[in-house]
Amino acid sequence: MLKQSLSQKMLQKLSPQQIQLMKLLQLPTTSLEERIQEEMETNPALEENDDYAEVIDLEANADDKEEAFELDDYINEYIEDDPQSYKLKDTFSHSDEDYKAPVVVQNSFHDYLERQLGMLDFPSEEQEIIADQLIGSIDEDGYLRRDPEAIIDDLLFSQNMETDKETVLLVLARIQKFDPPGVGARDLQECLAIQMNLKIRNMEGYPEKKFIFAQKIIDNHFTEFTKKHYERLKKNLFLNDEELKEAIDEIIKLNPKPAMSVAEVSPSRTQYILPDFYIKNRDGELELSLNNKNAPDLKINDQYVEMIKTYKDANKAQKSSKGQKDAVMFIKQKIDSAKWFIDAIKQRHHTLYSTMYAIMQFQYDFFLTGDDRRLKPMILKDIAEITGLDISTVSRVANSKFVQTEFGTRKLKSFFSESMTTQEGEEVSTLEVKNILKDIVARENKRKPHSDEKLKVLLEASGYSIARRTVAKYREQLHIPVARLRKEL
């Protein structure tokens, strides 16, 4: 049975402008200029501010007709608001010369493969198309991670060409002979097998035993090798410690990511970090500035200001036509959008600066000394309370942002950490505990690496009482494998 009823609900929704502001906060400096260029391309009322223009001083008109009051009132208010000087004024920026990111003009890894593909002579056009599809499917590490069946489906949809698995594998075998060795492999085992087989084929005479054993390990005992079950490997292959170590040393020399060997021709491998903030030590006083030099200064387009003025003058003389009103409404929409975007960029600068300033003050001792042991426990809530911002806003600012200091460039997120209490009752950052854990693992005997329980005992000896499961959590956060996988011969 259907019933009708009334109910009241309170909903909180973000406006499109608020959503866009949140997105701007998340952007690092390297992406801000691109976002501004996109906005300038879509909104002709927004332009780069090259020169300061004179302020237009027009008297507001009070004789507007009632039917055009809303539009004309906006025009009067807009002109009185000084549209010509409505521009982005940056008071937080770095004062040094403009810094432009280096431009890398190089061939990509896939270009390198395609040049080799062009030197092959295929027996049919079908195999040539398959080869081109395979090259395009190889990822940045040099692997082909798509199944032959998926390649067949891709060819059917994109090229309207039917083929079979045998033909795809036949073409793939030719690509796997390309440089760098191991390219086109479908997994790590196949990648290492291709490289080891090539190394053995290129040797003069009969290869040494260590290469033969290395090949057998890769082909027949790869699971035991990856899990470091050395005793099982010695038993299966009838090897002693020295022979097994020599074979494993040859496997370790192979490249698990073939594309890395030609990284110099791949712009995707060249990454430049542009700091979003600069902190300088001026005789014991820290000075903070934003890096906005790559972002152009913005203002309202002069032509749109003149259009508004022309409409106002024409409206004094005679009633405007519907076409003129429609045109001015379009101009109004674009000007409002441009003004909002300039305000959003200003708000972004202010929010970034206030958040980084709070972080700098909170971690003042670190920024003066560069000593990680001086880092205080700090969570997002601490900075949110200082700045009066929401925790989610602080999180957006800290995400993907970098600060340059005299001790190097660091990610903002690296300054946030939980706190813990030492045996002496002193509150320290978990970052300090992680650094000590990292040092303990670095000094351990790799033949008998420490278990998590042993690491817990050693940390307790250093004055840090934490549970074994917490040790395991910190170890995983530091990307340190378990003891069994750290074992070496």
Torsion sign across C-alpha atoms 218, 219, 222, 225 = negative
Tokens at residue 475, please? 């170890």
Cα separation of 87 and 98, whole Å?
Answer: 20
Cα separations (Å) of 275 from 99, 130, 292, 379, 400?
11, 44, 10, 22, 10
pLDDT-based confidence at 385, cuts 50/70/90? very high
Cα separation of 384 and 130, whole Å?
Answer: 55
Q: Which residue has better confidence, 180 or 83?
A: 180
Q: Residue 56: is its pLDDT beyond 70?
A: no
Give the model's pLDDT for residue 91.
56
Cα separations (Å) of 33 from 292, 351, 356, 397?
9, 18, 20, 17
- What value does the mean pLDDT take over residues 249-256? 90
Q: Which residue has better confidence, 101 or 356?
A: 356
Tokens at residue 328, please? 């001015």
Give the model's pLDDT for residue 9.
61
Give the model's pLDDT for residue 50.
61
* CA neighbor of 325 nearest in space, from 26, 70, 89, 31: 70
Of 68-77, 157-166, 476-485, the range with the lowest mean pLDDT is 68-77
Q: Alpha helices, DSSP H only, in 14-160?
A: 16-26, 29-42, 69-80, 109-117, 125-137, 148-159
Q: 202: helix, coil or strand?
A: coil
DSSP 8-state class, residue 87: B
pLDDT-based confidence at 86, cuts 50/70/90? low
Q: Which residue has better confidence, 23 or 318?
A: 23
Q: Which domains does the chain have, with CATH numbers?
A: 15-48+59-94+269-416 (no CATH), 109-264 (no CATH), 419-486 (1.10.10.60)
Of 13-17, 28-32, 54-58, 100-104, the range with the lowest mean pLDDT is 54-58
Give the model's pLDDT for residue 198.
92
Of 43-52, 408-417, 477-486, the range with the lowest mean pLDDT is 43-52
Query: pLDDT tens-digit profile of 290-312?
Result: 887 766 778 887 787 777 777 66
Count other C-beta atoms under 10 Å from residue 36's C-beta. Answer: 22
Give the model's pLDDT for residue 59.
34
- What value does the mean pLDDT take over residues 54-72? 40
Of 97-101, 183-187, 472-476, the range with the lowest mean pLDDT is 97-101
- What value does the mean pLDDT take over residues 311-331? 68
Give the model's pLDDT for residue 263.
56
- What value does the mean pLDDT take over residues 93-102? 50
Query: pLDDT tens-digit profile of 193-203?
Result: 999 999 999 88
Percent of the chain at pLDDT exceeding 90 = 25
pLDDT-based confidence at 367, cuts 50/70/90? very high
- What value does the mean pLDDT take over residues 249-267? 77
Q: Which residue has better confidence, 267 or 289?
A: 289
Give the model's pLDDT for residue 34.
83
Percent of the chain at pLDDT exceeding 70 = 77
Give the model's pLDDT for residue 108.
77
Distance of alpha carbon 271 from the chain centroid: 10
Residue for token digits 């002193």? 426
- What value does the mean pLDDT take over residues 128-156? 90
Give the model's pLDDT for residue 182.
92
Q: Residue 5: is its pLDDT beyond 90?
A: no
Give the model's pLDDT for residue 265.
43
